Structure formats: structure tokens, C-alpha cells
């Protein structure tokens, strides 16, 4: 079935460094790719999204890139801060098998002060 793979599962960076999380998807018909941040005790919060007709999108310190040919998309966080520490999920909206959003397994990001 449809699948989204996310790497790495854990990422530890020093404050001020950049963090990159990568995802691949299997459904070539996928056309919407949101990223969510989940803090302890809270539900996932949308931080940025990209649609298949766009290759890159940036919002302040956060950027997402999409390579449709390779079926890859990535989240880039620059100038990381301790408050960026959380679990990040990528997701892909797939059309195959019915409209549904498939989530990656998550990346636990630690930003060390």
C-alpha cells in the first residue's frame, strides 16, 4: 500500500545549527505534503506545507523542498533554537486507494543549548 518513509528517526543538533529531515513517498499521484510539529502532550501542529506544483517553499527559518521525480521531500530548519525540540512528522496526501493522508513515522529533534 501507500507508504511514507521518514529519516532520521532521531536528530540531535546544537543550537544555531541547521536540521534536515527527509521523507520519501510511494504514491506518485500524491499532490499535497504537509509537515507537522508535535510537542509533548499536544496534537500535531501544521508548520509548513507544499503542493506538487511547487518545488520549494520558505517561511522564516523553515523551508520545504519537493522533488516529484524522485518522490522526495525535505524539511529544513535553520538557526535552530531549543524551542524547536519536538517530534516532526511529514505526510503525503495520496489519491490511490481513496483520499487519505499518510504520515511518516516521525523524527524526534533535540536542540541542545
Partner 1 sequence: KAGVTQTPRYLIKTRGQQVTLSCSPISGHRSVSWYQQTPGQGLQFLFEYFSETQRNKGNFPGRFSGRQFSNSRSEMNVSTLELGDSALYLCASSLYRGNTDTQYFGPGTRLTVL
Backbone torsions φ then ψ of 48, nearest 5 degrees: -170, 155
CA atoms within 13 A on the CB side of 75: 29
Q: Which of 11, 26, 32, 76 binds partner 1 (CB under 8 A)?
A: 32
Cell numbers standing for residue 24: 520519501
**3-class secondary-structure state, position 71:** coil
Stretch that binds partner 1, among 13-21, 64-72, 73-81, 91-99 (CB under 8 A): 91-99
| Closer residue to partner 1 (CB): 25 or 36 | 36
Cell numbers standing for residue 100: 487519505
Q: Cβ of residue 25: shortest distance to partner 1, in angstroms?
A: 14
Q: Which of 72, 103, 108, 110 binds partner 1 (CB under 8 A)?
A: 103
User: Do 101 and 27 contact (CB within 8 A), yes or no?
Assistant: no
Q: Give the count of residues interacting with partner 1 (CB under 8 A).
A: 22
Residues at the contact surface with partner 1, assessed by CB under 8 A: 32, 34, 36, 41-46, 49, 89, 91, 93, 98-106
Amino acid at each position: 500500500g501507500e507508504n511514507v518513509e521518514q529519516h532520521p528517526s532521531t536528530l540531535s543538533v546544537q543550537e544555531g545549527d541547521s536540521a534536515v529531515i527527509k521523507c520519501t513517498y510511494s504514491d506518485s499521484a500524491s499532490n499535497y505534503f504537509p509537515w507537522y510539529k508535535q510537542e509533548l502532550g499536544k496534537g500535531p501542529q501544521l508548520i509548513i506545507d507544499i503542493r506538487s506544483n511547487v518545488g520549494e517553499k520558505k517561511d522564516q527559518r523553515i523551508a520545504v523542498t519537493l522533488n516529484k521525480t524522485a518522490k522526495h521531500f525535505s524539511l529544513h530548519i535553520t538557526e535552530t533554537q531549543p524551542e524547536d525540540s519536538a517530534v516532526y512528522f511529514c505526510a503525503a496526501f495520496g489519491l490511490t486507494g481513496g483520499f487519505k493522508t499518510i504520515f511518516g513515522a516521525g523524527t524526534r529533534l533535540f536542540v541542545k543549548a
